[in-house]
Chain A
């Protein structure tokens, strides 16, 4: 008799749904993936959520509420492998900008009665609360990398995802360097590859949506970016967007401020 198919669960916390949508955007592969895995829990796609345990959990979104703090512990308990997908789940997401402002002020800007809103002071990645088996980067994640993570899981191996910078992808693609040739500020040198160097291919600088690479020299890049005319507030803002709370980008913004 055939082995039962591994059971997949897709979970959502504070996020835009874009990373789980990436699974549905695998139009050519979706039905083959569904044939290899039992999609046991995926609220966005199915009205028949099945009970755990699950062999593979894909988790999207950051932890921002007291309930979600409890829920992620449950997800970990019912999951054999837990993979976070996207900037929110791996780094807190754009909503982590509250960490720099104070959530009370944020809530009072948006809501007349902030007291009705239960929310945490900070937006934190999944790994801050439970052990994570693998983190897939990107805002949003890349479709091909998601398929690599699922294939690797099915084959029982570690996913092969590069830790080098966007610059390597840019060279491989044969792009002219937007910074050297056009003086366009670019975070490519400090940002992890994975998107295929999309922004430079569209004549704009990388804005860091895959987060920091393995060993970024942000201080060195800051020197260059200043030379291209970026002001301190602009430097701070470029690091404080989608991966603001990651250590290298946090330090890069602080370095920019101290340099002032």
Chain B
């Protein structure tokens, strides 16, 4: 009997800390554990007893890469609990802020974390030694996103201007003009990015996924919508179904697994669904901006993309969309007459979900009679994807661990890291990365 263990130690170019242990016996995988050993920070516990205005600032601290997502889901959940709604120009400003985060986060992931995998570099900085022009384009793109966040939110990491009900101060039209100028250049850079990444050499892998993403009748959903799900069959088609965000707890449950500080989420009792760029694209591609749709078609994406390695192309298309939509809002921007709508606390429960760059982020708060948070529940994208990432890894490793084959562990570890990075996991959110161990016996 042969017994194999693959071990990845300190997964790199991801946000947070994690590892992977694979056990194989006689060419069969007997165990595979994506281990998230990010130390738990207990946000859901420390939110108890805080005022109803506090979760947007506090939960931003869950993740330095997508603080806006935390702020948006938190605001919407609390507003829902209090019977308030943010609409019109204030909602447009929230969208703008969120597009900024999409642009900077996707540009960071594509240029500094993910693209080096396809080009044989250890980092974006190593890539810059040979192709400085490319990395500079990525950094310019990222900067455009960060500037959009800064002009509305004050700073790119943990913006200060977001409040329950809207904003503390709304930007004057003149403040936004320089950002619009930069975003026009960013849109060209984003189109060039799609063409660049579409030309990478992709492993020939396709999975049947059960996708979950927000869906909105008029928008490529980011800020709000219903929760849509879709099972891709062998031909890559499926049926979108949906449920309201407030029905989330009836459909999505979390369970703890011993090998991870991040919880595993299940959808209608089944584990292994996928959120993020591939899911959003499959469910909402028809509502991408015309320019983004053209870019997707030119990149050969089709209506549904089932090759996780090509998620980098979908992210690039999403940057085009974000630049395009942000420009559309900026061109029509008129200063809202008030920076926020009043949100009076009342006892009750509110649910909020939005599309973080890595996937659907759900928050639920119960407020007590004093308007304080009595209970908080936060379901981050990586916790939802963890089981599906494990399934991706099983599918990739199984044929390579067959009897008679003995690929070097370093090669397997590198492949697994790549497969994990396809999903841009934010491990700090979920409870960092990758410690790879293969136990071959």
Contacts from A to B (Cβ < 8 Å): 12-22, 24-25, 27-28, 30-31, 34, 39, 42-49, 64-65, 68, 93-95, 97-98, 101, 103, 105-107, 109-113, 116-117, 119, 123, 139-140, 195, 198-199, 201-204, 207, 209, 234, 237, 241-242
Secondary structure type dominating chain B contacts: loop
B249 interfacial by beta-carbon distance below 8 Å: no
A-B contact count (CB 8 A): 187
Contact string against A for B residues 396-439, beta-carbon threshold 8 Å, 1 for contact and 0 otherwise: 00000000000000000000010000000000100011000000
Contact with A along B48-77 (1 / 0, CB 8 A): 101100100110011111010000000000
**Contact residues of B with A, CB < 8 Å?**
10-17, 38-46, 48, 50-51, 54, 57-58, 61-65, 67, 108, 112-113, 116, 122-126, 128, 132, 135-136, 139-140, 142-143, 146, 154-158, 160-161, 163, 167-169, 255-256, 258, 261, 263, 339, 417, 428, 432-433
In the complex, what residues of A have CB within 8 A of residue B14's CB? Answer: 44
Chain A residues whose C-beta falls within 8 Å of the C-beta of B65 in the assembled complex: 17-18, 21
The answer on a CB contact under 8 Å between B135 and A12 is no
Which residue from A16, A25, A119, A237 sits with its C-beta under 8 Å from B428? A16
Residues of chain A within 8 A (CB-CB) of B125 are 30-31, 34, 39, 45-46
Kindly report which residue of chain B lies nearest to residue A19, judged by CB atoms: B64
Whole-angstrom CA separation of A139 from B140 in the bound complex: 25
Give A94 Cβ to nearest chain B Cβ, in Å. Answer: 5
- Whether A47 contacts B13 in the complex (CB less than 8 A), given A12-B432, A64-B39, A101-B45, comes out as yes
B12 and A46 contacting across the interface, CB-CB below 8 Å: yes
Q: Once bound together, how far apart are the Cα atoms of A14 and B146, in whole Å?
A: 24
Q: Within 8 Å CB of A14, what residues of B? A: 38-39, 41
CB neighbours of A30 from chain B (8 A):
125, 139
- 6 further A-B pairs in the complex, CB-CB below 8 A; given A28-B143, A111-B263: A13-B39, A47-B13, A48-B123, A94-B41, A116-B258, A117-B40
Q: Across the interface, do B143 and A34 meet the contact criterion of CB distance under 8 Å? A: no
Q: Which residues of B contact A111 (CB under 8 A)?
A: 40, 256, 263
A and B contact pairs by CB, cutoff 8 A, 20 listed: A17-B15, A18-B65, A25-B156, A27-B143, A28-B143, A42-B123, A43-B10, A44-B432, A46-B123, A46-B126, A48-B126, A93-B61, A94-B58, A109-B45, A117-B261, A140-B158, A202-B160, A203-B339, A209-B158, A242-B61
Verify A31–B132 contact, CB threshold 8 A: yes
Q: Contact at A49–B12, with CB atoms within 8 Å? A: yes
**A27 in contact with B61 (CB, 8 Å):** no
CA distance A162 to B50 in the complex (A): 31
Contact A113 B168 (CB under 8 A): no
**Docked-complex contact A16 and B63, CB < 8 angstroms:** yes
Inter-subunit contact A45/B124 (CB<8 Å): yes
